[in-house]
Structure 1
């Protein structure tokens, strides 16, 4: 078992039903980290897996003392699992990486070297080639980053997701934030800490299937937009103002037509106008509803995850709410 003194490097790895790829990740990550020549720990966050992931982690830990298992009581989601790992990681530097081997562990060496060489707090791993993605995923990713760049500041570099290295000061700052439903790829850049980038080519998933279907990507995008920008609320205001001006213009037109005797009875234009205004009103209500839901969730202050077991301190059964 690793010593209780803080290691130089912590590697946080969220996992959910990764039994197929886990042995490959353990073999490859251990090879890289052992050759690094630094004291390290790997915080494997088991996000309520229902397959053999917990068993495989326990098996790997018998021969890999630096492996630390943090098991959550229920599936809490990718971002919550990363937050749980950040809250428990002890290293001077902390890397977050997925277990699917699409993000190569070898890049961790470059990231640590870049952080020390340039004396920065954050190193983003930026994809230099998206050819492994489908055309749909590339287009939606470009749309997401473009939208966030326009709606908010401090979005960080494009094509940088959750593969990054952070200093202890950065991790402490993230852990101190009271925000729930964090989107860490936006939270970390918003801190404004000195940063740099390291390019890499993302590989195909080594085994298993993606745990981020379209529905989860849409939910993440919605959390990102409503969590980091008030522009949609202002957009609703502008929609309302525009609708008022259009209605005022129609009123003037109707009064003039009535005064000049050119009124024409017709239902098509009426239906179109009523439908258009109803659609705008529903859109504005939906936007405001998303913000109200976030406020309601924040006021409840329910933990976003519950820690069931930490192999570093087996008696720990506490829950954590970021």
Structure 2
């Protein structure tokens, strides 16, 4: 059967936060890969690489600017401050949406095997609108990283957030999928859970994870916990349902304690009941505070959504069109 999607325009979206140590090497590897794919007629010569500077405090944006001025294959977006990894990915995809047939998001540390791009594009050419990159194993991670990552996915599944295990934002989206994603307007972004809800034809590409070329991982335990909280509160109401069940069970326990106390009183036993009162009070107080915290987290997300603040602000754009060899630079404030 004739392939109707051969030679499409591919845009790589690369979120960057304090990546000055690895970025020059990353840019060279990515440029070489796209050029090889172009020579093989897998993708169009109009394919590009978009670096998104997520409010870095080092020389990341200067390096991106120099790359863009030297080669039209590179483009750059610069946030006015740090908005987070998910916002950086979204900004890059939305910038590429008008120009690309397909977009692949990939981290700047080159741990995600860039040679798997051929498999991504092949799945797209066979009709898939979304292709997920899933790592084969976690052999390159330390013990703590392995444990925390496994706990993250199990915790997300337990609380009703439908995410794909060992998939970390290395994925391909077609233009059709990007157009659909643009219709989602929530401020509380969790793309790993949001994109599967679109329901397009999808596939999975497995890849080996490499060691980081330079620098240190920016995904700390704190950021992973924040990502998990955002994912749960934006994609699932199961925590509130759990509170309802716990409330019912505690009510049954309290009712049983009331019956016990009444029977104890009628039996004529004069037991002070200090321990029982203390245990019940602590149990009820702890459960009440914990429940209020979960409900408050949801109310806080509703508060942010109703204010509808920009998900990110783009301070600077450097975009050079390859076909005209004409560079357009913008120093402006753009909001999404």
TM over 0.5: yes
Matches within 5 A, 1:147-158: 147-152=155-160, 154-155=162-163, 157-158=164-165
Mapped contact 2:68–2:318 kept (Cα < 8 A): no
In 2, Cα distance between equivalents of 1:193 and 1:147: 26
Q: 1:92 to 1:53 in 2, by over 3 A?
A: same
**TM-fit CA distance, 1:10:** 1.0
Q: Which residue of 2 aligns with 1:112?
A: 121
2:23 corresponding residue in structure 1: 22
Please state how far the C-alpha of 1:154 moved relative to its aligned partner: 4.3
2:134 alignment partner, SS class = strand
The alpha-carbon deviation at position 269 of structure 1 amounts to 2.1
Provide the secondary structure at the position in 1 that maps to 2:77: strand
Structure 1: runs of 5+ lacking an equivalent = 1-6
- Tell me whether 234-243 or 11-20 shows the greater mean CA deviation: 234-243
Which residue among 117, 121, 132 is the counterpart of 2:140? 132
Q: Distance in 2 between matches of 1:305 and 1:32?
A: 30
CA contact (8 A) 1:72 1:306 kept: yes
Change (3 A) 1:127 1:60: same
Cα distance, 1:49 vs structure 2: 1.4
Q: Distance in 2 between matches of 1:275 and 1:319?
A: 51
Q: Tell me if structure 1 keeps the 8 A contact 2:65–2:318.
A: no
RMSD between aligned alpha carbons? 1.5
Change (3 A) 1:281 1:153: closer
1:219-230 equivalent positions in 2, closer than 5 A: 219-230=226-237
Question: Counterpart of 1:12 in 2: which secondary structure?
Answer: strand
TM-score scaled to structure 1, two decimals? 0.93
| CA shift digits 1:49-101 (9 cap, x unpaired) | 12111111122223321101111111111111111111111311000011011
| Paired position in structure 2 for 1:4 | none
Shift of 1:318: 4.0
1:123-272 → structure 2 map (5 Å cutoff):
123-152=131-160, 154-155=162-163, 157-272=164-279
Q: Paired residue for 2:14? A: 13
Distance in 2 of aligned mates of 1:54 and 1:146:
36
Matched with 1:102 is 111
Between the aligned partners of 2:270 and 2:181, the Cα distance in structure 1 is 63
CA displacement at 1:153 relative to structure 2:
6.2
Distance in 1 (alpha carbons) for counterparts of 2:293 and 2:330: 45
Alpha-carbon shift at residue 138 of structure 1 (Å) = 1.8
Q: 1:1-44 deviations in whole A, cap 9, x for unaligned?
A: xxxxxx71111111011100001101110100111112311111
Match of 1:62 among 69, 94, 113: 69
What's the counterpart of residue 34 of structure 1? Answer: 35
1: distance between equivalents of 2:166 and 2:37?
Answer: 26
Residue 218 of structure 1 and its aligned partner are, at CA, apart by 0.4
Q: Partners in 2 of 1:317 and 1:173 — Cα distance? A: 27
How many Å apart are 1:320 and its aligned residue? 2.6
Change (3 A) 1:244 1:184: same
- Please list the CA deviations of residues 235-271 of structure 1 after superposition, one character each: whole Å capped at 9, or x if unmatched: 1111111111111111111111111112411322221
- Per-residue deviation, residues 103-140 of structure 1 (Å, max 9, x unmatched): 122211221112213x1111111100211112222222
TM-score (norm 2): 0.89
**Superposition deviation, residue 48 in structure 1:** 1.4
For the 8 Å contact 2:31–2:73, the answer to whether it is kept is no
